[in-house]
Chain A
Amino acid sequence: EVQLVESGGGWVQPGGSLRLSCAASGFTFSSYSMNWVRQAPGKGLEWVSKISASSASIYYADAVMGRFTISRDNGKELLYLEMSSLRDEDTAVYYCAKEDYANGMEVWGQGTTVTVSS
């Protein structure tokens, strides 16, 4: 069964840092691009970042550029999102999603909640 499981969410003060992880199973992780997508409370989906299968290409939304870093470990089948200089507006459920280049984000994790508050 194809599965993605996020972890690492929690409460952090503004200006703080947090690292999210996404554990993949049931597919050849090293063959697929991966994304992070977030959803603030009561709001819509917002794309955060994408990393190619080999980590050669990385993209960020303007809202997180320079503060968030996406990375992956294909040997461990793990995706990461390192978040720093966190702001109140980064409060959201963060999802990781497997992307097929032609088919969109075909598999999603259950999400992990990040709360930024003083």
Chain B
Amino acid sequence: DIQMTQSPSTLSASVGDRVTITCRASQSVSRWLAWYQQKPGKAPKLLIYQASKLESGVPSRFSGSGSGTEFTLTISSLQTDDFASYYCQQYNSESRTFGQGTKVEIK
């Protein structure tokens, strides 16, 4: 199975900060990489698909980049509503796998 590793596991930041989360795959997933946001007690929400395409309705402060084994999710200017957990997920292999998650906390 393809292993997905996110860093950092926890991130403390302030409103207005630029935030970057990294996701590494144990083997190439091409651009078949999605990012999800999850708030406590809620279902995950798709933010980015195919590594860099923004899901409809998602604010433009979110962006994704990368291909192969290295990917990043960037929030250009952190807003109060963005404090949540974020997960990457590969869908190159039929056995889907998620990263372990990154919790973005208020500094």
Physical interaction between A and B: yes
Residues on A facing B (Cβ under 8 Å): 35, 37, 44-47, 50, 57, 59, 61-62, 95, 99-100, 102-106, 108-111
* Closest chain A residue to B34, Cβ basis: A104
- A50:B43 contact, CB within 8 angstroms: no
Given contacts A104-B34, A105-B34, A105-B89, contact A57 B43 (CB under 8 A): no
Interface of A is mostly: strand
Inter-chain contacts of B100 with A (CB < 8 A): 44
Inter-chain contacts of B81 with A (CB < 8 A): none
* Closest chain A residue to B43, Cβ basis: A108
Q: Report the separation of the CA atoms of residues A37 and B101 in the bound assembly, to the nearest whole angstrom.
A: 14
Given contacts A35-B96, A44-B100, 13 further A-B contacts (CB under 8 A): A37-B98, A45-B89, A46-B98, A47-B98, A50-B94, A62-B1, A102-B50, A103-B34, A103-B53, A104-B46, A105-B36, A106-B46, A108-B43
Within 8 A of A (CB), among B92-107: 94-101
> What is the number of contacts between chain A and chain B, taking CB atoms within 8 Å?
60
Inter-chain contacts of B34 with A (CB < 8 A): 103-105
* Closest chain B residue to A44, Cβ basis: B101
Inter-chain contacts of B49 with A (CB < 8 A): 100, 102-104, 106
Inter-chain contacts of A37 with B (CB < 8 A): 44, 98
Inter-chain contacts of A105 with B (CB < 8 A): 34, 36, 44, 46, 89
- A57:B101 contact, CB within 8 angstroms: no
Given contacts A45-B87, A104-B91, A105-B34, contact A111 B43 (CB under 8 A): yes
Given contacts A105-B34, A109-B43, contact A61 B95 (CB under 8 A): yes
Within 8 A of A (CB), among B22-48: 34, 36, 38, 43-46
Q: Report the separation of the CA atoms of residues A44 and B99 in the bound assembly, to the nearest whole angstrom.
A: 8
- A44:B98 contact, CB within 8 angstroms: yes
B26 to chain A, nearest CB (A): 15
A46 to chain B, nearest CB (A): 7
